[in-house]
Amino acid sequence: MADGIKDATSSNQMWGGRFASGPDAIMEEINASIGFDKKLYAQDIRGSIAHATMLAEKGIISHEDKDKIVAGLNTILSEIKSGEFEFSRKLEDIHMNIEARLATLIGPAAGRLHTARSRNDQVALDFRLWVKEELVKCEKMLTDLVGAFLDRAEEHAETVMPGFTHLQAAQPVTFGHHCMAYVEMFGRDRARVRHAIDHLDESPIGAAALAGTPYPIDRHMTAKALGFREPTRNSIDTVSDRDFALEFLSVAAICAVHLSRLAEEIVIWSTPQFGFVRLSDAFSTGSSIMPQKKNPDAAELVRAKTGRINGSLVALLTIMKGLPLAYSKDMQEDKEQVFDAAENLELAIAAMTGMIRDMEIRVDRMRAAAGAGFSTATDLADWLVREVGLPFREAHHVTGRVVALAESKSCGLADLSLEELQAIDPNITDKVFDVLSVDASVASRQSFGGTAPAEVKKQIAWWRARN
């Protein structure tokens, strides 16, 4: 019996004298977070060093104790990095695991580290630091992806291809222009990342459990030491806020959707039916039974990752939606969602950057498809407006009759004779043939942001200066 009491007490040291017995196996299983929050070890140690340093500077603890604490924390950091540190589920989380080890290393001085803070503001700090570092990493990865698209756009500013609406050939565009559409998308994603960094750039430490602390701490000092712009301004909001995690997941989900749309196009373009691109062996796999197959598995997996990332956002929104202020244990479920989304977003961006950089662009297949589906029909309608003076709706009707004629003859618009065109509208002249080729169509789209090669090159230059 005595041994049983001793075991229960030893498993319950972090709760002090409030509880007479320790949690049973089920409670331990549901309560422990060390299996995933150990990922925050570097941030936890960094935050504790900044906190201890501030406490010593303000005379709340002695410099001697501070030096012991910092030395002990650095020893723990080395132990974790080398794999020597033993994590314990009985100690619940990364914070108590580090604090318990610190007590073993330096004795009573370890107990002074938790002065003027709580696990509530401690975990908020660790998690903010981790998310901020992840956002900085994503910003760089998106810059690399945008750079890959700029390279391909520059290379193919004049390569014609079909533009699509409803996945039906619509009007000719250039592949460079198509690439620049993704530059815009991922450029906005990067801007969202930067906004998210700005929004979370406040230090939580010092908010304590929820009401602040009576100790004469300097929160601006710890904020500066930890690289934050300033401390948070409301202690209740500080410990109950997970907006920064939600914003990260929102940014990740939008970016993942963009990656998925790109992945879908790569899957389609790499089919024999399209044949617009050929993926390298590095991002393809074969079939176990069909030797001719070359499957775009990397693109398909990027497409699938979107489901996981979107699911993480929905999960955390649901976790947070009914929580009263301030802290609730529900928030322990925030980290796994963010960790999983971050890991999969990084992998998806890296895979897509690799695919874009080394895939082969099949210019001949793109050009052959660019004129299919009467893609220059709008150019004919515009010509009738400009040169003949028809109202656009009437020009649209005339063009429809021309398309019907070409379709009945199984030929392109440019293959119809002048006599056939004039039978539909006698005002048509031989100058119309200047606009019916895909090259002429593309070159004419010189409006700002249009597909004309000259305009595409202007947009590439604009982005080069900002990437």
Q: What is the pLDDT at residue 159?
A: 96
Whose structure tokens read 């801007």?
Answer: 191
Q: What percent of the chain has pLDDT over 90?
A: 68
Q: Which of 47-61, 139-153, 163-177 has the lowest mean pLDDT?
A: 163-177
Instruction: Assess whether 328 carries a catalytic annotation.
Output: no
Say if residue 145's pLDDT is above 90: yes
Q: What is the pLDDT at residue 128?
A: 97
Q: What is the pLDDT averaged over residues 371-388?
A: 82
Which DSSP symbol is given to 202? E
Q: What is the pLDDT at residue 19?
A: 54
Interatomic CA distance for residues 460 and 467, integer angstroms: 10
Interatomic CA distance for residues 219 and 131, integer angstroms: 20
Contact 117, 213 (CB under 8 A): yes
Say if residue 133's pLDDT is above 60: yes
Q: What is the pLDDT at residue 4?
A: 38
Instruction: Assess whether 287 carries a catalytic annotation.
Output: yes
pTM, two decimals, is: 0.87
CATH topology of domain 29-113: Fumarase C; Chain B, domain 1 (1.10.275)
Q: What is the pLDDT at residue 451?
A: 94
The mean pLDDT of the chain is 90
Residue 221's CB: how many other CB atoms inside 10 A?
A: 18
Q: What is the pLDDT at residue 373?
A: 67
Half-sphere exposure of 1 (CA within 13 A, CB side): 0
Interatomic CA distance for residues 54 and 106, integer angstroms: 19
The angle formed by the CA atoms of residues 315, 320 and 328, to the nearest 5 degrees, is 120
Interatomic CA distance for residues 390 and 410, integer angstroms: 27
Q: Do domains 119-368 and 369-461 have the same CATH topology?
A: no
Active-site residue, from 78, 280, 287, 328: 287
Active-site residue, from 82, 166, 408, 417: 166
Interatomic CA distance for residues 227 and 221, integer angstroms: 10
Q: Where in the chain are the domains?
A: 29-113, 119-368, 369-461
Q: What is the pLDDT at residue 422?
A: 87
> 393 Cβ partners below 8 Å, 6+ apart?
none
Say if residue 7's pLDDT is above 80: no
More confident residue, 352 or 11: 352
CATH 3.40.50.300 fits 119-368, yes or no: no
Contact 291, 175 (CB under 8 A): no
Name the pairing type of β-strands 230-231 and 202-203: parallel
Whose structure tokens read 């400009």?
Answer: 386
Q: Is 278 helix (H, G, I), strand (E, B) or coil?
A: strand
Say if residue 453's pLDDT is above 90: yes
Second CATH level (architecture) for the domain 369-461 = Orthogonal Bundle (1.10)
Amino acid at 174: T
Q: What is the pLDDT averaged over residues 410-422?
A: 85
Summarised one tens digit per residue, pLDDT across range 330-343 is 899 899 999 999 99
